[in-house]
Amino acid sequence: MTNTVLVLGARGRLGGAVAQAFAAAGWRVLAQRRAGGTVPSPAEGIEWVQAEAGDTAALLRAAKGARAVVHAMNPAYTAAAWRAQAPGLMQGAIDAAAALGAVLLFPGNVYNFGADMPALLSPDTPQRPSTEKGRIRVDLEQQLAQATRAQGLQAVVVRAGDFFGAGNGSWLDQVIVKKLPQGRVTWPGALDAPHAWAYLPDLARAFVRAAETAPARSSGRFECLHFAGHTVTGQDWLAALTGVAGEQGWLPACGALRTGRLPWGMMRLVSPFSATVASLLEMRYLWDVPHALDGAALARRIGAEPHTPFLEAVRAAITQLDLAPHGANSPGLQAGRSITQGV
């Protein structure tokens, strides 16, 4: 019998990658989308379900018998939007999973640990958020944990670092490699600080394995598993990007990429007038505080973590981006675009 998964927020970057990974693994994928907008193109193994995330009755009718639900919905990247919308989105996912009797999988990030976080983050590391978005993320996970006790839900948080790969909308394309075709890289922080990254196709496959290995009929169970991904420095990125730029004919005559820094000072001046820029400033510490995720608990649960070698992952991620030959003028965000940092 084919397993079924309901992916909430399947039109987003994470949701789309997860839907594709489940389909590739032979699951029947029900991909939720809101009414309106362009109808997604058909994809093998993926069925689109038009319903609001909070419409439990409609989701239950469409996904009856589903074994897993993935919560991949995300508000705009501002603290105000997260505070106003994220708890309701979480409750909608909880209600759907509880009604279906399915395990609920939720992507976590490192915001929970704050600016004083240790260099290695395990599921047992104390959570001491130092920002509003970090406090919201802690609240969401507590909301989920409470639901496992109150509603007999089985839930898994899969925590990961910053996303790259599987399309646009991350620090990689919006800032770091925006001017790579002109031989320039913009780095947001200290070049020697280890930083946790998640190659999305690998992370998506980890979600599949977490669903496949979820204990049957295990109600009231809450787990937090860390996806180790790639812990690399800005210097590691420069080395990989130099190789890719050389393959594409983008290296300057000197044979080395030029490295610029993100204009945080200018962004601070703009922040009172832009909630998105203010939210990015709030998380600036992540680029200077070394951090990595301990994936031992995840490996015990699913086996070896899906892991594409870093250079191979970088090459694939850059190939998928629509990098204009002459780039944009600013190293900052493009107008009307936002960064999905982690989730």
Comparing C-alpha atoms, which of 340, 294, 302 is closest to residue 113? 294
Going by C-beta distance under 8 Å and a sequence separation of 6 or more, which residues neighbour residue 274? none
pLDDT digits (tens, 9 = 90+) for 25-67: 999 999 998 877 666 776 788 999 988 888 889 999 999 999 9
Q: How much is the average pLDDT of 259-271? A: 92
- Domain borders along the chain are 4-163+199-228, 164-195+231-290+308-320
Neighbour tally for 249: CB within 10 Å = 7
Predicted local distance difference test score (pLDDT) of residue 148: 95
pLDDT digits (tens, 9 = 90+) for 152-189: 999 999 999 999 999 888 899 989 999 999 999 999 99
**244, 315 contact by CB (below 8 A):** yes
In CATH terms, the fold of domain 4-163+199-228 is Rossmann fold (3.40.50)
pTM above 0.75, yes or no: yes
